[in-house]
Structure 1
């Protein structure tokens, strides 16, 4: 009679006991996390057959015999080939080949079943089903693990499963993080003499280099996962192995990155991230993913950095990271929207409005009109005279059928255009916009009619007529008054038009970083119209505004370099100051660029040297005097050491060399080594 249930409500050991005591025959199917499915066949209450996945291209039973040295590699290959060619069950094939005896096959088959079945006793979630009768299809393949006539004693399997379950509890008290990377350092190698080693311990030891997870080691050396973790726990308790610290892993990953081993560096940082989810780990991991063209993961990590920067109030860093993310995912409207919010909080209203408009355009491209409308409203609130928010807001309303709202925004667009353009040019831009964005003829006609009949256009026409009359009078008067009158009237008018044309594009060109070009054009206007006092004064005001904006941009870039340096990213900080020097010549920020670059280089060298010197100090304190002095001597060979650091380290080196020639201090060192049990070194 079959039955089924859930592991959360029934103890799996009780199920095995029941099947054993009732001497039942049938298939037990246990489904766990993953989902992982295990099929076990009972014959009169004893475990007879178990399904097992192939390992490295071999049937599990053949692979186990090979790993334990009971088969040669060529024998295993031949048996696997014959298994696939003949379809003969693997147990029968092994016995027929004569390569191993029946007792050996039973022994290894029992071990295989334990490896498959024991782990399921740790599952607390999952389902089980027992089906009476002959083995199910999953247990009739040629590569299943099958016991001999007596089967595997169920009580023996339960005892082994219970032992392992208890042992796992003890292991997890020592190996608290299954993904941790363990290493055997100098102290660990010294402690190795205090434990007995066997072949499996030596296999695991070879891979405890701080770059392999225990699960990876188990797969690589052919030791079971349980035994690998048990060996690692034993080595940790003996002081032979220890988990690497996040700081060590980050430094190791940085070294790997410098040598071009990006995949290995990424794997190291990914392993440390769950335990140290901090910018010092996230940033290099994001940068490496970007270098490897893994944009989705890089974006995900940069978004974490952005959130952390915002939480800490570091909005400049958040903006810089957002710019990086946008370069990786330029079509993401959410990123444009977030960038706009950061710029707004920083007080860069025009840049924020432009970013909101960019987000609105991206939202419209995905037909997310609701968010496009929200972005446009935010841009309008920041810079009411900017025409772009009104343009794309009208477009969004048209896409959703809100014609009246679209007409309102087109009227607002017209008024915004008039703030920076002459009426005639504003009409041209409005017409071009309608042709590009609006497919409704009646809407276009209504908007253009309202614009053409507006007071601005009427006044413009009247002004043009008046100008023509005045010009006629001026020309007539010029014949009488001569060149002086022409200069006073037409020169003033020409100057006004030239300055107005210049101002119409000034804001956009400032945002594009064309400050130097703008100043050159102002100089040209001064040469042409500088004799007109009001024009000269106005040009001076404009020049001062441009210069101030130019200096502010340079100062912000200098602050960005300082932030990078504070975060230890000296190479990027130096590149940022070098770029500042080239892009912002003549500004106060650029005037000290060379000194700042040199200071950053010295700071970079100092940081690197101090880290090595600290390591030498640790070795000296650990009585590794020879290693410490050699390491410190290498540091002092560097030609670019800052004077204060060279002086300090020179004094340390002199003290250490004196100690190496002092009988008293050498005797004290020997006593410490002897007390610590290092008799040979003492």
Structure 2
């Protein structure tokens, strides 16, 4: 079997000659634009030609060839029906024709059909070697056999082609319909015009040229020549295109679709506007099963309607094309594009899903993706396109691409204000990739917008944990991202201290100390209203002091917080540090105030007293300085640290050398520590002082104490003698009128002998509750 497609008629001539020249036997199938013919070759000669659109009727061929009248044919057919014999045998038996007449009629029919093929422009050929198709075999079995030389057929066809070129100038198409004019009437009034009358009798404004030449009882070409003559003489004229359309509709309604098609085709060739000829042709072609031509016309109709803006009609036409050629997917694509222009989104989706199925059935995944992408470009606000693409990518394990489409879908939903739906999409993304940062960030933000604070915080928290766990925070950009997360969390729940701690730490990790301090300050403001959260306040202030160790305001707040929490040592440490800093600046009043804070925390802290003594020393207030040294001494005495008490009292005595109470207490310390020399020196000095101040009783007691301690020597004896002299003088003075005792003697007479004892209970003074030198813990003997 040899097949050649879409060849021109000259090539067909070569094929025809080749089969004949090679003496081949078989059937040549020839398919033209409007018909199909079967040519049977037997050893290179043509024995029979059948047209698909016309049955081979021997009787008609005999009538047309002029071998038989119609009445004779009717009589023969009647006899045939009675006898059941082949028509050819009946005609011979009736004596109407010879076998040669019949063979000539068949040869005539072969010539007509083959020459007709040579008028086609392009054909498809298929030669079936040594095959006789059933239709031909049936006729051959009736005994009708001729052998027509192929070369003669080609020569006859060539001659007719040349003449046809002349005829076509006036009869351009066998589809034309003609109607007679009054100029033709003379043929029916005059003798000798049988052929013209035969043709004119067939011209009725309905039959086309093909029908006329088929029915005329003469060779086709003879009929064509007569038509040419009649047109040339203006004895017939062509029916205009609109009338052809009317006729086509009539025949279409009557069911004669092939006739209607020829009329519509010629009307279209002539050019007619506004009568929807392409649509009529498309429906007619579809009805007769000519899918190729139906698609061509529906396509032309669809494109024309698109240009005119009649998109409904275009959609209809593309729909018909898809039904006719379901596997031709490009028109399905075009249908979707037109539907998008119409805004028919639901139909777009429906058709796109159908087309997607076709692509996938062919394993054309990329085409399916491109389809939805194209729809996305044309209708970016259509959520279903993103859904479809994500499902496609998931179907082929392309998770990343699926997530991208879902992210785009969520973004679209947010733009449209459909936040609840966007949340669902974000959750779907996280089901695919739990560590998708952008999806979780967007989910948290959307939940926050919806007022679902608790869930938003949970998502932000998961995100921060994920960033820390995966180690991507080493990148500075990611640290900024983490900061943004914590800021959002803090905005959502301002009172959440844990979040703010994380925010502060994140600032520190990124090197932003100022940001951390600002966050800690915000925490401080929050804690001021939470009086029962003292420990947290301490932690915040400790962190602030670490970041700004020289910020005295922060340190002072920290000291107060320590004190409020009962953390005495930490509070005192801070206060003393601040006091020393104040002293370095020369701000002694501030230093004293800080020391007072220390005393409120720990009233009997010796270091605080010593610091205050130092401060008063810097102020030049020796009286207060000495007083604090005396208080230090008493504290050491209470602890039985007599050496330290001695040092404090020495300092006090150096500052106030005439303060008798300090000296007496110092003397007791010396005795306690068995420092006889120092006791002797101090009591001797006191005794001399008393003598100088003429306080005889006090001087006598100091001397008596020295003697009791066994410390009497020449110097003591000398003081004692001085006392005696003074006593003598005073006795003599008493004999004198109005001599008053010195005021100072009242002071000395009030100081009896003392001994040191441990205090049973702390006593306070008005300044701060500490013992003072004016209130010594002592017992006079």
TM-score bracket, normalised by the shorter chain, equals 0.3 to 0.5
Tell me the TM-score normalized by structure 2: 0.42
Question: Using CA pairs below 8 Å that are at least 6 residues apart, which structure has the higher relative contact order?
Answer: 1
